[in-house]
Structure 1
């Protein structure tokens, strides 16, 4: 598993329901334009605000489109309760991987994080991707802990959303070649690829998907002359899209492009300002 895995938004119709047709169209277009797979029900999907029926609808739509393209499907699953996380993983045996966050809020310590993933990986019917996002979980991890996680059987990769920090560099420099590190902070995709990341789980790739896929290909081929300016350009776009809480600006842009029926998000998120949306559109 490598390349661009797109963490899909959940578009909403004017009546507040999930806009399933728009969701399918977003997934189809991204896979046509070079994404290698999608992540359903991740942070960008506002999964926290979806009920069980809505989550099932989103997963069904994503699974169908991925089957049509022969593409990878990962699902965001798990939380801070190890037993509940194991049950959530057991409920989805038909996906290619599960993106599981480091336990948030409880701050179990690094040894607790290792124990959490060791137990989940032993019981999970699908391979696990560790989601390391310390600004959301309040649980930082050292490079040594990330490397320990990378050696747990059935943990096949990690989404690293800690920026270009010592822990990220240590993981990239010390993990096994078959362990898939994905950049999770969109603005740092290019430098992460330069240091050996396999790809990115990047919300910004809803837009300019082909350019994001080309950036991954360029770094993998060692084509620095292509990768460096392209990486700078896409980093500027990513910064504009994250000027307000994700995915508010992204949804505003997609709505302005006519690709989703509304720019709506669910509380406590608020729609992005017109200025932020305009700034991102200008960079496109």
Structure 2
């Protein structure tokens, strides 16, 4: 199943008793797909997977599998590569283990072993893992059998990015992971994005991706510029605190609760984010 367009990395909503609100998760998944998202991600960073029990993680994935099957859309699963073996899951979304910093050869060896067991979308996010990679290493990873894509979140678009885009192999999908930089990354050839901000204005992010891919550059630039303030506002505090505050205020999830070590967003941050929604 090809990866392109906008995939939404689902939050994990909690109810007033602190339990996972599976009904709200189901509605949210359907909302973003109805609005044009091309796929879902369960148990990504936005979903607070480290704070969920294994049983809660399984329940979240089951909801996402059910909805994705109904819509015929891809589903990526983070946190636990073993869950990518579940029927209905397209691929695992996986980072190199944080804090280890194994060097480029170690990163390549790690993903070669993992991709031999499950289809894989590599999540390259050096500000979280502490591991930077050269263009040569990224292109090596892109060519590993079983690697179908990469979530690319380096906070910059630089020579390494350009080199990766220029030589991507066929069948490999480059998906932006820095919400505020998604427009320029699409402009130089990314296939889409995995964007937490797309919970809030899914249609606008979908239109942005479509505009770049169809060659409507003037419209794409306009949409991209308009969406940057929203993306920045939603990430003004640790993700997904502000996002959950916005979704709760909009009546889409039962509470704005996050689990420790995260804290709820300040009301001023939520108010500011809401003011950027067109």
TM-score above 0.5: yes
Query: In the aligned structure 2, how far is the partner of 1:273 from the partner of 1:183?
Result: 28
Preserved contact between residue 103 and residue 113 of structure 1 (Cα < 8 Å): no
Preserved contact between residue 128 and residue 157 of structure 1 (Cα < 8 Å): yes
Deviates more, 1:150-159 or 1:95-104: 95-104
User: Is the partner of 1:191 in helix, strand or coil?
Assistant: helix
Q: What corresponds to 2:24 in structure 1?
A: 22
Query: In the aligned structure 1, how far is the partner of 2:170 from the partner of 2:97?
Result: 26
Q: What corresponds to 1:156 in structure 2?
A: 148
Moved over 6 A (4+): none
Aligned with residue 52 of structure 1, among 40, 43, 54: 54
Q: What corresponds to 1:233 in structure 2?
A: 226
Query: In the aligned structure 2, how far is the partner of 1:235 from the partner of 1:227?
Result: 12
Cα deviation for residue 177 of structure 1 reads 3.5
Preserved contact between residue 193 and residue 216 of structure 1 (Cα < 8 Å): yes
Q: What corresponds to 1:122 in structure 2?
A: 116
Query: Is 1:201 paired with 2:194?
Result: yes
**Unmatched 5+ stretches in structure 1:** 79-84
User: Is the partner of 1:95 in helix, strand or coil?
Assistant: coil
Query: In the aligned structure 1, how far is the partner of 2:131 from the partner of 2:160?
Result: 13
Deviates more, 1:69-78 or 1:274-283: 69-78
Query: Is 1:70 paired with 2:72?
Result: yes
Change in CA separation of 1:168 and 1:15 when aligned onto 2, cut-off 3 Å: same
Q: Deviations over 1:244-283 (max 9, x none)?
A: 0000000000000011111000000000111110111001
Query: In the aligned structure 2, how far is the partner of 1:91 from the partner of 1:177?
Result: 24
RMSD: 1.2
Query: In the aligned structure 1, how far is the partner of 2:67 from the partner of 2:129?
Result: 31
Q: Deviations over 1:31-82 (max 9, x none)?
A: 000001100011000001000110011001111111111111111145xxxx
Aligned with residue 222 of structure 1, among 205, 215, 219: 215
Q: What corresponds to 1:279 in structure 2?
A: 272
Instruction: Tell me the number of residue pairs that the alignment of Structure 1 and Structure 2 aligns.
Output: 274
Query: In the aligned structure 1, how far is the partner of 2:235 from the partner of 2:84?
Result: 33
TM-score by length of 1: 0.94
**Unmatched 5+ stretches in structure 2:** none
